[in-house]
Each structure stands twice: as C-alpha cells, then as structure tokens.
Structure 1
Amino acid sequence: MQNFKTDRPETGISAVVTRAETALVFLSGIALAAIMVVVVTDVTMRYILRSPLGWSYDLIGSYLMVCVFFFALSDTLHQHGHISIDFFTHSLPRRFIHISLAVGYGLSTALLAMIAWQAWYRTGAAFSANNLISATVPWPTWPSYFMLCAGSALIALRCGLRTIAHAASFVTGREIANMPPPPNTASSETEHGE
C-alpha cells in the first residue's frame, strides 16, 4: 500500500474556495434545521390544531432542500465525503491514479461549469420575468436557480483545482494533490455484536 499525503495545508485559491465552502455548508446546515422546524410545526398544527401550514412543502421543496443539497456539495467533495469505490485504488501505480483523477475531475469541471452557466442564465430569466411557482404562496423561482448556480459553480471550481493538482502530480511525480485517506479495513471487536 502506498503512503498518500492527505493533510496538505490549503493555500491561495484553494484556501479561498475552502472558506466559501465553509460558509455555504453553514447555510446548508441552517436550511436543514429550518426544514426540521417547519415540518415539526406543520405536523403539530395539522394534528393538534387541525390547521396545517399550507405553504410548508412548497418552501421546503423549492428553497430549503435545494439549499441543503447544492450548498453542501463542494464541501463534501473537499472532505472526500462523496461515495467512491476505492477497493483497489491504493494498490495501483501512483501516476496512473493521478492521471485518471485528473481526467475525471477535468470532465466533471466542464459538466458542472455548464450546469452553473445554465443556472445563472435561468436565474436572470426567472428574475426578469418575475416567475412564481403555482402554489398557495406564489414564491419566486429565481432563488432556487441562484442556489443551484452558486453550488454548481463552487464545486466546479473545486473540481478544477483538483484537476490541476492531479495533473501536476502526474507530470512531476510528486504528491501535489491531496488524496483521500485509505479505507479503514481493520475490524472492531464490537463489530456485528461480537
């Protein structure tokens, strides 16, 4: 098994992106807490007072869930929290891993940048046209598109930084890119109730 460096300090653009990720994941956490408060309030009012909130699901579906998901994407990638199949990755040649990751992150950067661009376009169009959802409360649609744009742009930037780092690691043969920690395969004595 190769020893990959996983705790390289953040500098330059990466440090700025990390601060933006921290801010967005904080907002994502607030949105998640707001979902819980709205759902508990709605259920309480529905079954105790027989007067449910007519706008709760529209607020949650149109704004809060979008915020929770898209604002947490980039930070999750930064923390190596997305699902990955690393069954034999650490036994492959290091340079092969870096070039493979550079290609994958490069393609991801292009796709996510296109999503961010389209979301920005739709944000402007929805704002200009004053588009509203058809519901009890006519919420504007542009904030959802804006959150999609911000989250997609930030993860595209993080993927772009990873593309550059892995390409540089491949070219130089040095560990420039941060790698995820190896999987924890040690069994615990309390695992499976044993």
Structure 2
Amino acid sequence: MGLTFRLLGRVIDLTTLVAGLALVLMMTHIAIDVVAKYIFQVPMPGTITVVSNYYMILVAFLPLAFAERRNGQISVEVVTAALPMRTQRGLNVAGMVFCLLVFSALAWQGWIEAGRAQQVGSFEIEQNTKLLTWPARYLLPLGCGLIALTLVAKIWVALTRRPPQSLDEPFF
C-alpha cells in the first residue's frame, strides 16, 4: 500500500503543480490581452474562451485532491468537537464516504459529458477564431476522479490503520 500511496501522492503533487502553472499562465495571458487591447488596440482572440474553459477549470478542480490529502477543506466542528474522539472518527469516515459518492458521481457524469462533447467536436468562436473546448471537458472528471481516489485512500487508512491523533493531520 505504501507504493500506491506514494504514487497517488506524486500524481496529486503533479496535478497541483499543473494547476499552479495554469494560474500563472492565466494571469500572464490576461495581462498580455489587456496590454494588446488598450495599448495596441489589437485584443488577443480567444482569451475569454481559453480562460473560462481551460485555465479556470484547471485551477479550480485539479488541486481538490491536494487540499483533501492535507485535510485543507473547510470544516465546522461546533457540535462534533464535544463528542468523543471515536465518534468524531466515525463521523469523519461517514463524511468521507459521502464525499466519495458525490465526487465519483461527478467524475462519472463528467466523463460521459466530455465524451459527448468530443463526439460533436464542441468548440466556441471568439473574434472569428474557432477554439476547441471539448478537451477541457475532461479536466473536471480528472479532478473529481483524483479526489475520489484520495478519499478511497483516506478511508482505507482510517479503517485499517490507526489514523493520526488529530483529524487535522494528513492521513498519508
């Protein structure tokens, strides 16, 4: 299992790096577009399409697994903090199972929708430039699938090993 967790961790790190690079590229792309539009009066074609269909999806969905792996998701523990640790752990596992079901469903349906978009050759036209958008449709199921795998690993650790004392510490 150690090799599997290390491999999953590397994939998560890689996708998070890709998301970070996409963020930098998005800022650069927008800055160049603004300069081109207001100084040279020649906007870059496709900026809105590329930003909204590629960069934003990369930045929003690929780092989800990284945040989950590090227990960086938002949680409110007003009631559960007073419960015994065993109960807290049980509720934590139940929450992870629920999230696993949701993200698995999102990944599955996202994959189906991406396949449909690929079949029809989904694209957008911006400033007389045709830009394919169907490849970006695979980014959502990739991000959701990766967080689902992360949740499977966390559930496995929680059920088979002694998890960290604090629920805030990373599981792997």
The two structures have a TM-score, normalised by structure 2, of 0.87
How many percent identity over aligned positions? 23
Question: Structure 2: how far apart are the matches of 1:112 and 1:23?
Answer: 20
User: For the pair shown, which has the larger CA radius of gyration, 1 or 2?
Assistant: 1
Structure 1 partner of 2:120: 129
C-alpha change, 1:134 and 1:155, in structure 2 (3 Å) is same
1:93 Cα offset (Å)? 1.4
Question: Structure 2: how far apart are the matches of 1:89 and 1:18?
Answer: 29
Secondary structure of the corresponding residue to residue 138 of structure 1: strand
Is residue 2:5 matched to residue 1:17?
A: no
C-alpha change, 1:147 and 1:162, in structure 2 (3 Å) is same
Which amino acid counterpart does residue 138 of structure 2 have in structure 1?
Answer: F
Contact 1:101 1:166 in 2 (8 A): no
Structure 2 partner of 1:150: 142
Deviations 1:45-102 (A, max 9, x none): 1221122223111110011100111111111111222222245755531211111011
Q: Which runs of 5+ in 2 are unaligned?
A: none
Q: Which runs of 5+ in 1 are unaligned?
A: 1-9, 182-194
Equivalent position to 1:46, from 32, 37, 43: 37
Contact 2:5 2:153 in 1 (8 A): yes
Higher strand share: 2
1:24 Cα offset (Å)? 0.3
Question: Structure 1: how far apart are the matches of 2:81 and 2:4?
Answer: 28
Equivalent position to 2:168, from 147, 165, 180: 180
The alignment yields a C-alpha RMSD, in angstroms, of 2.2
C-alpha change, 1:178 and 1:11, in structure 2 (3 Å) is farther
Structure 1 partner of 2:132: 140
Structure 2 partner of 1:187: none
Instruction: Name the count of aligned residue pairs.
Output: 168
Structure 1 partner of 2:17: 26
The two structures have a TM-score, normalised by structure 1, of 0.78
